[in-house]
Amino acid sequence: MSWSPSIYRFADGGDIPVPPDPAVVRDALGPYAIVEPSDDEYWVRAEDGSEAEFFVGEYGVTVERPQVGGVFDLVAELATRLGAVVVGPGDRVVCRTREEAAHLPESLRDGAIIIEMAGPALQTALTGA
């Protein structure tokens, strides 16, 4: 079964995410690209060989088919650089701080999980494994 966590930055409780900064995305993912990236698509490989495709949209970044392992470090790093949260299956929202959670739309705020935004912790928060 395929699943796709997404990276979004919210401001002031608004329902519409803030667009991601393409330069930040490029700086975070570009070094790990295994094919020439475009402005809106990155196929990356982490140092441990795990892979994922990142698609940059108008309001966020979708991570397609992330493999277990180091690729979650890349997801965590990108979310941190963007000042964003990671939304997983069932609208499970993972944040770095309570202050960050305060910017979420009210519908997502109550169930937000606060973690140290690092690959292993993020992987566990999203997958339970």
In the block, residue with structure tokens 């009210």: 106
How confident is residue 1, by pLDDT bands cut at 50, 70 and 90? very low
How confident is residue 3, by pLDDT bands cut at 50, 70 and 90? confident
Note the pTM of the prediction, 2 decimals.
0.94
77-124: pLDDT as tens digits: 999 999 999 999 888 899 999 999 999 999 999 889 999 999 999 999
Query: What is the rounded distance in angstroms from the CA atom of residue 46 to the CA atom of residue 31?
Result: 10
Domain ranges of the chain: 6-127
What would the mean pLDDT of 12-26 be, rounded to a whole number? 96
How confident is residue 10, by pLDDT bands cut at 50, 70 and 90? very high
